[in-house]
Structure 1
Amino acid sequence: MQLNERSITNTPAQRTTRERIGLMVFGTDASAIVSTIVAAEKAGVQQVWVTQGTPEPDALTIFAAAAALTSNVRMGTAIIPTYPRHPLALAQQLLTLHDLAPGRVLVGIGPSQRPVIEGIFGIPIGAPLEHLREYVTVLRAILGEDNVDYHGRFYTVKTRLPRLPRTPILTSALRQGAFRLAGELADGALTWLCPVPYLLQDALPAMRAGAEEKGRLVPPLMAHIPVVFGQDRQTVRALVRTEFDSGRFFGRLSFYARMFADAGFPVASDGSWSDEFIDNMVVSGDEATIAARLRELLDQGLDELVVMPIPRTDPISQTRLIQLIGQL
């Protein structure tokens, strides 16, 4: 059964604004991240997201620790790279989390980036979209079928879990092919550094087309939204550029550069971002302005928001954002 057909939660119209806005938590200290998740739940945050950086503490192990100290907050990965982690190994971790925090975990997965997979892990990337398609197919089977006997291009799996921890599977997406794939077989799409107009005009239609082709409901799009507490436009832009290596790292990655161009914001020859790109990706202002803009983005058609403070590890910005989300 596709979890999408039950919906990850309820439809957007049935959920409150707070339920549709999650906090992204960053850090390299596992205990600090767990403490932030606990504090976020106490403040009223409904959903938190942790990315699996390399090499950084394991996100799902962090969730296991946080599960013992929380009771309601939902926890999602954004994302876990697929190439280094066999789908059966990931399924075993999700089984553990299902027992510790039933119904509270979402797993976001994706192929990650060539400098990480090939440069750090030494694993060659080939046909990343097809690899992701097969990975989701295998993972869903392990999580939802009594017996799995799968033989594919990338994986051969024969197994049976003691229990079926049906867990929503979300996929990362940058360009239209990945968004279409998410519409075809995932329980949601997770974005990163995508300007809002691109999400509304290109990503959502691609997801709808993929879902329509397979005769299934359109899964939700979880839009990554960087947030800066600040009124001065130049200061906001400078903070964003500093946070993302002046925009040059991602701008020099070919698949990101192509997405930026698709969105109408091509990078400069050195990979740097334009002011217009930052203005269309980042939400800034005081608490009232930011809250109003987040509500507006949901009203425009984005299903859920994954908001991230800039700077990512600034405790003051993080606390302000936790309080803002908890009061929506």
Structure 2
Amino acid sequence: MVAVLSVLVPFVPHRPEHIVPYAAYVQWSPAHRLWQGQATLVEPFQSFAFAAGAGFRVPVGTGVTLMPLRHPYEAALQARSLAATTGHPVVAGFGPGAQVFQQQLLGAPYRSQLGAVREYVTAVRRMLDGEPAEQDGAYFPMHTGLHPLPTPPVEVGLGVLRPRMAELAGELADVAISWLTSADYLGEVVLPALRAGAAAAGRPAPRLVAMVPMALARPDRDPVRLALASNSGHLRMPHYRDMLRRSGIETDPQDLEAGAKALLAGQAFLYGGVEELAASIRAYWAAGVDEVVVNLTGVHQLHGPQATLAELDLIVRAAA
């Protein structure tokens, strides 16, 4: 596949119309796909459908929605409905979420993170393939499928930070989706694990998508503040901190400013001139990433929507 560049909605929408400028941008620019992460205000499947109803029908992806929020049947139904609504292929990305989130919604974390993900992704993929999900699992026992409906294809994605989940994605998923991961870590750790899992299953390795936080350097900007505005929550989460440690980036939840500086030094948060950012994006492609997603969350938080859209266009056109 030719390497492509896509766009993340850089905020959690309070109203579905808030994402329309980004859908319009994807429709009119070289950007390939519009992505949203999990949201607990306006739900991403519904805001994507709203944008399609407003006339902006573009390829979309969820990267990632959290398994405790929806049963696999509902997940497959929502993803297929979105493909029917947009008229474009959909990447439906899923992940188990943090264990504290599982505790809050389910009463206890999944006993096996990998086991729960295996059952979930297997069930969703089978139903999207038009087959019944027949499994007597520990987490998602199911004996049913979706009614037939012709739609554009839906790819099942899996959020991947560490090698064991990458191996599982290689075995089961169509797309592996990373967040806050450096190009070097993806090329040296994640991709070999993806390929190993795929080889063990006798199938091609899934595509690799990287959600990359970044910002243009400007005289009135503080890169540490931008990195914090984009990723302070991630710097507190054990699974993100473990992934960052494996990639040589040490963080401490008691010292978020030091963690933000480490993100910048380790190239997990990109900061520089437009040509520097374009070169860094190309480094992801060179490392084996198929799709780089421009994440300007920090810019939006600190400088607002107009600055974000203008900056997005500069970066996309320079890199594309």
Shift of 1:118: 2.4
Structure 1 window deviating more from structure 2 (121-130 vs 191-200): it is: 121-130
Does the CA contact (< 8 Å) of 2:96 and 2:117 recur in 1? yes
SS in 2 for 1:79: strand
Does the CA contact (< 8 Å) of 1:95 and 1:163 recur in 2? no
Q: What residue number does 2:228 align with?
A: 241
TM-score w.r.t. structure 1 length?
0.85
Contiguous gaps of at least 5 residues in structure 1: 1-10
RMSD of aligned alpha carbons: 2.4
Q: What residue number does 1:32 align with?
A: 18
Aligned residues: 307
Q: Percent identity?
A: 25
> Does residue 140 of the first structure (1) align with residue 125 of the second (2)?
yes
Query: For residues 123 and 84 of structure 1, what CA distance do their matches in structure 2 show?
Result: 13
Quick one: structure 1 residues 94 and 243, their matched pair in 2 at CA, closer, same or farther if it must change by over 3 Å? closer
Shift of 1:231: 5.0
Q: What residue number does 2:240 align with?
A: 256
Shift of 1:311: 2.4
Q: What residue number does 1:290 align with?
A: 277
Query: For residues 244 and 221 of structure 2, what CA distance do their matches in structure 1 show?
Result: 21
Give the one of 305, 309, 321 matched to 2:312: 321
Q: What residue number does 2:190 align with?
A: 203
The letter of the residue matching 1:118 is: Q
Give the one of 40, 55, 59 matched to 2:44: 59
> Does residue 152 of the first structure (1) align with residue 152 of the second (2)?
no
Task: Give per-residue Cα distances to partners, 1:87-138, cap 9 Å, x unaligned.
Answer: 111122123223222342110110111333323x354222122111110000
> Does residue 115 of the first structure (1) align with residue 115 of the second (2)?
no
> Does residue 311 of the first structure (1) align with residue 313 of the second (2)?
no
Q: What residue number does 2:33 align with?
A: 47
Shift of 1:306: 1.4
Task: Give per-residue Cα distances to partners, 1:29-88, cap 9 Å, x unaligned.
Answer: 2211133212332234221101112x2211011111222344662100011101120011
Give the one of 261, 272, 276 matched to 1:275: 261
The letter of the residue matching 2:173 is: A
Quick one: structure 1 residues 77 and 322, their matched pair in 2 at CA, closer, same or farther if it must change by over 3 Å? farther
Shift of 1:148: 3.6
The letter of the residue matching 2:85 is: L
Query: For residues 283 and 223 of structure 2, what CA distance do their matches in structure 1 show?
Result: 20
Does the CA contact (< 8 Å) of 1:190 and 1:222 recur in 2? yes
TM-score w.r.t. structure 2 length?
0.87
**Consecutive aligned runs of 4 or more in structure 1 exceeding 4 Å deviation:** 231-234
The letter of the residue matching 1:322 is: D
Does the CA contact (< 8 Å) of 1:23 and 1:322 recur in 2? no
Quick one: structure 1 residues 34 and 71, their matched pair in 2 at CA, closer, same or farther if it must change by over 3 Å? closer
Quick one: structure 1 residues 122 and 161, their matched pair in 2 at CA, closer, same or farther if it must change by over 3 Å? closer
Query: For residues 270 and 256 of structure 1, what CA distance do their matches in structure 2 show?
Result: 15
Query: For residues 271 and 184 of structure 1, what CA distance do their matches in structure 2 show?
Result: 37
The letter of the residue matching 1:319 is: A
Q: What residue number does 2:5 align with?
A: 21
Q: How does 1:46-195 map to 2 (within 5 A)?
A: 46-53=32-39, 55-70=40-55, 73-119=58-104, 121-126=105-110, 127-163=112-148, 166-195=153-182
Does the CA contact (< 8 Å) of 1:231 and 1:284 recur in 2? no
Query: For residues 8 and 287 of structure 2, what CA distance do their matches in structure 1 show?
Result: 22
Contiguous gaps of at least 5 residues in structure 2: none
Task: Give per-residue Cα distances to partners, 1:231-276, cap 9 Å, x unaligned.
Answer: 569821232124333xxx4344322222122111222372531634
Quick one: structure 1 residues 281 and 77, their matched pair in 2 at CA, closer, same or farther if it must change by over 3 Å? same
Shift of 1:212: 0.9
Quick one: structure 1 residues 160 and 179, their matched pair in 2 at CA, closer, same or farther if it must change by over 3 Å? closer
